[in-house]
Amino acid sequence: MGYWAAPPAPVGVVEYFSNRASDYQAKSTRFPWAWVRAREVTAVLSLLGDIAGLEILELGAGSGYYTRELIRCGARHVWAVDISEAMLAALPKGPIAPMLGDAETIWLEKRFPVLLSTGMLEFVRDPAAALANAARHAEADARFVILVPQANVFGFLYRRFHRTHGIGIHLFDRTWFETTAPRLGWQVHAVARILPFSLVIRLDRV
C-alpha cells in the first residue's frame, strides 16, 4: 500500500493550531478526545519504554499533552519542538526547552536517545524528510515513537474534518514505514493499531 498523501498547507497549519492553542489542552481532556487519547497514550508509553532520567526530543509538541506525560514518567528534560509559537507558549512549566521550528528542517546540534512525535507527521509537507531529520538528531540505538492516523475509514473521515478547515493531511499504514524508514536510518521495531484510527510505530535507529 503506502501512505495517502494530501500535501498540507504549512501556513494554514500554523494558523489553525495557533488559533486553538489557548484551549487545546483542555479539549484534549474532554469526551470524545479524552477517550481516544487515553487509548493512544497507553500504547505510546508502552512503546517508549523506560525514559527515566533521559533527555527526549519531542517533535510537534503542541500545547504539551505528551510533554506532561514524559515529565510524569521521569524524563530528565524534554526539548519540545513545534511550528506554532502560541502552542509553545501553552507548554507547562518544568524541565522543558520550547523550540520553535519545522520538524523537517530544524537542527538543534544535539542528539537524543529517545524521540517522540504524536499527531505531527500527518501535517508536514514531506513525512520522509521529517523522519530523515529526526535521524540526524538520534543517538546510535535511539528509539523513536510516532503516532499517526491510519488510512482506514475513520482516518479518511478525520482527513475530511481537516479539509473543512482548508488543511490536507497524510494518512499512513505499516507498509509505508517498513519501506521508507530503512532508507532513512530507521527500522520498524513494533506497531500498535488503536481504534478507531490511530497507528503507533516504534522505530529504532540503525
The CA distance from 72 to 70, in Å, is 5
- Nearest-angstrom CA–CA distance, 120 and 80: 12
Query: Is the entire prediction scored with pTM above 0.85?
Result: yes
Residue 200 Cα to chain centre, angstroms = 10
Give the confidence band of 29 by pLDDT, cuts at 50, 70, 90.
low
Beta strands at 138-149 and 112-118: parallel, antiparallel or unpaired: parallel
d(CA 22, CA 10): 20
Residue 112, domain extent: 3-205
Total domain count, the chain:
1
Question: Who's near 127: CB < 8 A, 6+ residues apart?
Answer: 3, 121, 170, 172, 180
Q: How far is CA 134 from CA 18, 70, 155, 178, 188, in A?
A: 24, 18, 25, 16, 14
**128: CATH:** 3.40.50.150
Question: Which pLDDT belongs to residue 23?
Answer: 67
Question: pLDDT for 178-197, tens place per residue?
Answer: 999 999 999 999 999 999 99
